[in-house]
């Protein structure tokens, strides 16, 4: 998983390497390309509307947005999922800038200064503003938070200025897209003919008898398709073969699991830990130092604890140690660290100051104890405009804020330090106290030893030696070793290969190698994987050789259909049965049906039944040729002109944004190669 720091480090390394290579090429007199290395195809993450997007350009914009997001939310780092979201956001912004905006400008779509002001403090506040300045207590948009933020835009804080610039850009972009969609939506219209057809499609159902001669009734030897026939069909119907980019792989997994020796070593180690833990004077401190997971320091009532923990804290095993207990690959042991009376709920209000303002905090405490108004002082000095915190469970607040409030009485005024700063606090409510226990828990995971890891890696290495560098040798190696063969189809945007977590590296490998390639040993989520790339499929029109067999089958069936049509022409169902046709009955067929029960997707058959053309002539279907005899028509009476008009209009507008986006992307000729880099 790539963290922000990793990306920045990688970016710095890439810049250094590129500059070094460019200088060397210049000195050797080999820098002949006018575009230079930075614009080479290898350094492009994609192309949008004819504009090449370079790796460095994309990375710089990603870093800029990352810095803004971190500053907005006070974060020092982002998760891999959040980083992926930012990369996607930056890409969509680039699509907008290079592909959509030029057209919007020609249309005169813009957002003026007055409109921007109205989007901030007018009647219709931008959704960007509403989603950003949210009161964490109410979960609702808080205009006061926005007012406080804007008040600080005096040019003295570059971070604040960059955040505001980013928000304004997002506001304007969203408003322009809203205007464009509004224009397109206004052009959507459902006419009377569509309404009449919809009524017929939903208000009438039909029953019919049919006879079917499948295409298998004609031997392939009786028809022939030439290469020129296939080429002619392909050239005339290329859009039928438009495809998305994908890769198909086969792979084997060498699971890195603890051996019997590893379990024995873990049992011995946890036994030693248990003896020390049993007599430790400070169980919580010992657990914090020895547990492989973060120690929970909260206090719990008896009813809030699992049965086993409640027993050692309040029940029949009070004072004893729980465990060690092995569940799966995890050992657990626990002791009661502390029991004390605590309230379930407390209330407080606070004034948040910088951590260094101790003298200011002392002055405020003195003033409050002298009768000063809390709200007035909070408005003047607090970094948090939400000074009244209401009622809350102590554990809901950052430590040690909640615990400190719980230790005081209503009306007490005191200070407490947290990661956010120095708080001047007044306890406003403390519920009746009851005994709660703090449980010191040690978690130990049984993990493969270095020896086990080397042994499993050795098996993967031996397999790779047999697999070589071709799919044929890879296939033979699987057969010889008896390993389980797994397969997957991978899209560029996939974060993982199905069945493998944290496997983006394997996705990226599949898009940076050629068909038939065999991977090195990949470390995927702690296991070892060797893969082979069995098929490449690029976005666009599939090449003729990839679809020739599909076209040949289609053309064969068309010629077979002509033969079968002649055999069934003018015949009754009984006579068709004598020709070898199978008979059947269908019911509740509607014009809007997608398939026919027991027959599958047969749109021409559905059309023949619902239009009354049955028995006039045979029908060419997907799976064969049909004769149809309509046996009944039933009117449901459920559809009306008004209901169908509303339904059709709703269908048109519901999917409109998605369809508009798809149409704009297709016209923009977007090539996305980010999978090769990230």
Is the pLDDT confidence value at 25 over 60? Answer: no
Mean pLDDT throughout 367-382? 92
Q: Where are the domains of the chain?
A: 199-242+544-635, 246-257+449-537, 260-342, 345-430
pLDDT category of residue 10 using cuts at 50, 70 and 90 = very low
Q: How confident is the model at residue 121 (pLDDT cuts 50, 70, 90)?
A: confident
The span from the CA of 280 to the CA of 230, in Å, is: 82
Report how far residue 487's alpha carbon sits from residue 490's, in angstroms, rounded to the nearest whole number: 10
CA distance 499 to 376: 58
Reported as a pLDDT band with limits 50, 70 and 90, residue 23 is very low
pLDDT digits (tens, 9 = 90+) for 530-573: 999 999 999 889 999 999 999 999 999 999 999 999 999 989 99
Size of the chain, expressed as the number of residues it contains: 678
pLDDT tens per residue, range 475-505: 999 999 999 999 999 999 999 998 899 999 9
Give the Cα-Cα-Cα angle 402, 407, 413 (nearest 5 degrees).
85
User: In what order do the strands lie in the sheet containing 204-214?
Assistant: 582-589, 204-214, 624-635, 619-620
- What are the Cα distances from residue 72, in Å, to 7, 75, 132, 147, 161? 20, 8, 9, 15, 11
Lowest mean pLDDT among 40-44, 207-211, 246-250, 463-467: 40-44
- Computed over every residue of the chain, the mean pLDDT equals 88
pLDDT in tens, 404-447: 999 999 999 999 999 888 999 999 999 999 999 999 999 999 99
Which of 3.40.50.980, 3.10.50.40, 3.30.565.10, 3.20.20.80 would CATH assign to domain 345-430?
Answer: 3.10.50.40
**pLDDT score of 257:** 95
CA distances from 364 to 80, 214, 403, 553 (A): 43, 90, 22, 86
Same fold, 246-257+449-537 and 345-430: yes
Q: Please state, in angstroms and rounded to a whole number, the distance separating the CA atoms of residues 123 and 129.
A: 13
Q: What are phi and psi of 331, to 5 degrees?
A: -90, 140
CA-CA-CA-CA torsion for 356, 357, 358, 364, nearest 10 degrees?
-160
Query: Are the CB atoms for 625 and 176 separated by under 8 Å?
Result: no
DSSP 428: E
The span from the CA of 77 to the CA of 6, in Å, is: 11
pLDDT band, very low/low/confident/very high, at 614 (cuts 50, 70, 90): low
What is residue 655's predicted lDDT score, i.e. its pLDDT? 83
CATH class of this structure's domain 246-257+449-537: alpha beta
Q: Beta strand pairing status for 527-537 and 299-300? A: unpaired
The rounded distance, in Å, linking the Cα atoms of 577 and 470 is 53
**H runs (alpha helix) in 187-299:** 192-203, 227-236, 260-279, 283-290
**What residues contact residue 69 under an 8 Å CB cut-off, 6+ apart?**
75, 78, 82, 86
Poorest-confidence range of 581-590, 637-646, 667-676?
637-646
Q: Is the pLDDT confidence value at 34 over 50?
A: no
Using the predicted structure, report yes or no on whether residue 26 has a pLDDT greater than 60: no
Q: Give the per-residue pLDDT at 623.
A: 94
Other beta carbons less than 10 A from residue 401's beta carbon? 23
Strand partners, 524: 527
Place of tokens 């949210």: 134
Instruction: Judge whether residue 47 has pLDDT over 60.
Output: yes
């Amino acid at each position: 998983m790539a963290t922000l720091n990793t990306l920045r480090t990688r970016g710095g390394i890439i810049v250094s390497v590129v500059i070094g290579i460019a200088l060397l090429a210049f000195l050797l007199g080999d820098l002949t390309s006018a575009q230079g290395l930075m614009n080479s195809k290898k350094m492009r993450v994609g192309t949008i509307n004819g504009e090449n997007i370079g790796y460095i350009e994309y990375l710089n914009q990603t870093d800029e947005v990352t810095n803004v997001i971190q500053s907005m939310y006070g974060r020092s780092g982002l998760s891999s999922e959040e980083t992926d979201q930012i990369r996607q956001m930056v890409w969509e912004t680039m699509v907008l800038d290079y592909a959509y905006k030029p057209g919007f400008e020609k249309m005169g779509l813009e957002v003026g200064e007055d409109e921007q002001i109205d989007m901030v403090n007018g009647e219709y506040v931008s959704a960007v503003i509403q989603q950003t300045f949210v009161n964490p207590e109410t979960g609702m948009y808080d205009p006061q938070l926005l007012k406080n933020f804007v008040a600080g835009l005096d040019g003295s804080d570059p971070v604040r200025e960059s955040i505001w610039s980013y928000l304004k850009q997002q506001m304007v972009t969203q408003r322009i897209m809203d205007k464009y969609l509004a224009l397109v939506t206004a052009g959507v219209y459902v006419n009377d003919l569509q309404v009449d057809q919809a009524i017929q499609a939903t208000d009438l159902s039909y029953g019919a008898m049919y006879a079917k001669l499948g295409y298998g009734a004609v031997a392939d030897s009786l028809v022939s398709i030439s290469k020129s026939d296939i080429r002619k069909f392909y050239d005339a119907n290329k859009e039928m073969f438009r495809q998305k980019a994908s890769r198909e792989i086969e792979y084997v997994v060498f699971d890195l699991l603890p051996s019997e020796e590893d379990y024995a070593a873990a049992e011995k180690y946890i036994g030693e830990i248990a003896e020390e833990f049993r007599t430790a004077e400070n169980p919580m401190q010992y657990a914090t130092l020895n547990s492989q997971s973060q120690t929970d320091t909260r206090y719990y009532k008896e009813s809030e604890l699992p049965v086993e923990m409640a027993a050692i804290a309040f029940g029949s095993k009070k004072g004893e140690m729980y465990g060690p207990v092995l569940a799966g690959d995890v050992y657990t042991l626990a002791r009661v660290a502390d029991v004390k009376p605590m309230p379930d709920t407390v209330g407080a209000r606070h004034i948040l100051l910088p951590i260094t303002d101790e003298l200011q905090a002392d002055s405020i405490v003195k003033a409050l104890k002298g009768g000063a108004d809390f709200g007035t002082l909070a408005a003047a000095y607090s970094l948090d405009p939400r000074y009244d915190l209401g009622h809350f469970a102590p554990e809901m607040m950052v430590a040690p804020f909640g615990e400190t409030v719980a230790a005081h009485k209503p009306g007490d005024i005191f200070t407490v330090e947290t990661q956010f700063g120095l708080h001047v606090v007044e306890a406003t409510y403390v519920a009746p106290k009851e005994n709660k226990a703090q449980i010191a828990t040690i978690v130990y995971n049984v993990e493969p030893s270095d020896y086990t890891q080397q042994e499993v890696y050795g098996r993967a290495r031996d397999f790779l030696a047999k697999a070589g560098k071709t799919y044929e040798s890879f296939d033979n190696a699987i057969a010889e070793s008896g390993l389980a063969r797994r397969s997957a189809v991978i899209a560029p945007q996939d974060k993982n290969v199905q069945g493998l977590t944290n496997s983006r590296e394997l996705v990226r490998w599949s898009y940076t190698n050629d068909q038939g390639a065999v991977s090195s040993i990949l470390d995927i989520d702690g296991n070892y994987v060797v893969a082979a790339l069995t098929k490449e499929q690029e976005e666009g029109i599939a090449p003729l050789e990839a679809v020739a067999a599909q076209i040949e089958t289609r053309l064969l069936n068309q010629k077979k259909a002509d033969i079968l049509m002649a055999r069934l022409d003018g015949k009754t169902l009984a006579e068709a049965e004598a020709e070898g046709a199978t008979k059947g009955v269908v019911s509740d067929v509607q014009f809007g049906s997608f398939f026919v029960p027991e027959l599958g997707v047969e749109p021409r058959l559905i059309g023949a039944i619902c239009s009354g053309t049955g028995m006039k002539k045979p029908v060419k279907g997907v799976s064969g040729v049909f004769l149809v005899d309509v046996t009944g028509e039933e009117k449901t009476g459920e559809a009306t002109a008004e209901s169908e008009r509303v339904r059709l209009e709703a269908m048109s507008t519901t999917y409109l944004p998605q369809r508009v986006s798809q149409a704009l992307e297709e016209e923009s000729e977007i090539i996305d190669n980010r999978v090769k880099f990230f």
